[in-house]
Amino acid sequence: MSQSLRLGVAGLGTVGAAVVRMVARQAESLGASTGRTIRVTAISSRDRSRDRGFDMTGITWFDDPVALASSADIDCVVELIGGAEGPARETVEAAITAGHHVVTANKALLARHGAALAKAAEAKGVALAYEASVAGGIPVIKSLREGLAGNRVSRLYGIMNGTCNYILTRMEREGLTFDACLKDAQALGYAEADPTFDVEGFDTAHKLAILTSLAFGVEIDSEAVSVEGISAIQPLDLRMAEELGYRIKLLGVAQVAAGGIEQRVHPTMVPKSSSIAQVMGVTNAVTIDADAVGELTLIGPGAGGEATASAVVADIADIAAGAKRPTFGKPAQTLPSSPRVAMQRHEGGYYIRLTVHDRPGVAAGVATRMAERDISIESILQRRSESAAMTDPHGRSGQPVPLVLITYAATEGTIRAALDAIAADGLLAEAPQLIRIERE
Ligand code: NDP
Ligand code: HSE
């Protein structure tokens, strides 16, 4: 067997500790498949005294991950600290400068600095591998970069954040509050250190930016993604979705559009009968439309220590076996930028929940503003609150009540213009809720 691959693991949290345990557990099989012994020889974390579930004897400890990354006694740095700046970025940069391969699960870092890091890694002739950065244990990076190399991709979309899907699933199935579900997702190790990244959609945007670069051959740019999270979703929206035959999912979508690649992240109503609607809990799913293969969907665990470690260890095995490919499929210097495609031009169906004053003519007023802009309404649902009904059986109480519309396809620009006009008419008691519908 040729020389062993010495790993330095920076970050020993949910993922890092699972990686060290997995490398030890699978040592024999990894050695047989790659032709090299793979060993963790250095580790770094903040708290040296904490039990990480593995034996640290014989492994060099570094208080400073940058010192670990610069050490001449390792071959590959596994960065599992997290965050786009600070120690994670410094660790990866130091590793590349020192000529070490890098494996990371850090989508925030790649989304912000991926283009520069890829150029630096390619100039140094080292690998920058990141299978675990998107969709946890699903091998979606390898599938896009290698498995679909002979295809032209026209669209990809999916559920890419385990925390959000876990929250939406439990709110819908168990009627739990948003906060209670988020707390459980944190306890299970699914959420980011700052869960705002999950629930406000940024984590999905980072992942979508990575997949877009690979799928469409453009430079990674998370600024080109339109982002909305799930924090404004109310239990009422989940109930309405159920009643109307939909489920709400946080989707990331990238597709070829006039003017570039449309990249968007937002809560989405999907038909209850669709396959994406069946994806529950921490599970992720990514669907790729490509010319040769047609439609391909990858489904699996999107977060958690073991599932994510599985993807990290796959990258380590590739490096041990000598696999070398440009970070984003093509040489980083050659990738063109892709400008942001304005969300206003997006066309599709919309779920609109208005909170209107309960009085005669309100629904007609809303319908008029929609019709003026040629927006066709597929269905309309009005629910009176019990208190409004009791106060005034004639429907003139003026109390806030929900009015839900489902539209046929319209552009976001016209929908927003109609909502502005409805607000200007004084019909709304609260800001409207707007959720895009994807029917296939
Ligand atoms: P954790 O918060 O569980 O672990 C982070 C680790 O980094 C901790 O061990 C922490 O040390 C260490 N750390 C923080 N700051 C420093 C520092 N200055 N020097 C040395 N070590 C430091 O995060 P996760 O394991 O959940 O995530 C790690 C990465 O993997 C992130 O980029 C995340 O986005 C990504 N990821 C996570 C997934 C998941 O399911 N959790 C799935 C896919 C990707 P200490 O323990 O001593 O406090
Ligand atoms: N916080 C992320 C999620 C981890 O919930 O999907 C996996 O990338």
Indicate which atom in ligand 2 lies nearest the CA of residue 133. Answer: 8
Q: Which atom of ligand 1 is nearest to the CA of 83?
A: 32
CA-nearest residue, atom 36 of ligand 1: 105
Q: Rounded to whole angstroms, how far apart are CA atoms 45 and 62?
A: 8
Q: CATH 3.40.50.720 in the chain, residues?
A: 2-133
pLDDT tens-place string over residues 217-240: 999 999 999 999 999 999 999 999
pLDDT grade for 342, boundaries at 50, 70 and 90: confident
With a Cβ cut-off of 6 Å, ligand 1 is lined by: 10-16, 44-47, 65, 80-82, 87, 105-106, 132, 136, 189-190, 192-193, 303-304, 308
pLDDT at 168 over 60: yes
Q: List every span in the chain annotated with CATH 3.30.70.260.
A: 350-437
**Type of residue at 406:** I
Band (pLDDT 50/70/90 cuts) for residue 299 is very high
- In terms of phi and psi (left: phi > 0; alpha: psi -120 to 50; beta: otherwise), the region of 124 is alpha
> Which alpha helices (DSSP H) does 125-201 contain, by range?
140-142, 162-174, 178-187, 196-199
* Token duo for residue 339: 């400008």
Q: In CATH, what class is 350-437?
A: alpha beta
Atom nearest to 107 CA in ligand 2: 8
Q: What single letter denotes the amino acid at residue 433?
A: Q
Is residue 207 part of the annotated active site? The answer reads: yes
Residue the block writes with tokens 């620009």: 413
pLDDT tens, position by position, 426-436: 999 999 999 99
CA atoms within 13 A on the CB side of 227: 20
105 CA: nearest ligand 2 atom? 8
Can you name the CATH fold of 2-133? Answer: Rossmann fold (3.40.50)
Nearest residue CA, atom 23 of ligand 1?
13
> What does the pLDDT look like over 303-330, one tens digit per residue?
999 999 999 999 999 999 999 899 999 9
| Ligand 2 geometric centre to CA of 4 (Å) | 32
Which residue of the set 124, 207, 249, 324 is catalytic? 207
Region of poorest pLDDT, from 285-299, 377-391, 394-408, 424-438: 377-391
Residue 175: HSE in the Cβ half-sphere, 13 Å Cα cutoff: 1
Q: What pLDDT shows up at residue 149?
A: 94
The CATH superfamily assigned to 146-301 is: Dihydrodipicolinate Reductase; domain 2 (3.30.360.10)
pLDDT of residue 387: 61
The average confidence (pLDDT) of the chain is: 95
- Record the tokens describing residue 169, joined without a space: 């699933």
Q: Where in the chain is the domain with CATH 3.30.360.10?
A: 146-301
126 has a pLDDT exceeding 60 = yes
Mean pLDDT of 24-29: 98
For ligand 1, the distance from its centroid to the CA atom of residue 17, given in whole angstroms, is: 9
Q: What is each CA distance from 142 to 137, 147, 199, 283, in whole angstroms?
A: 12, 7, 27, 19
* pLDDT 10s digits, 260-293: 899 999 999 999 999 999 999 999 999 999 999 9
The whole-number pLDDT of residue 392 equals 64
**Cα of 426 from ligand 1 centre, angstroms:** 49
Q: Is 161 in the pocket of ligand 2 (CB under 6 A)?
A: yes
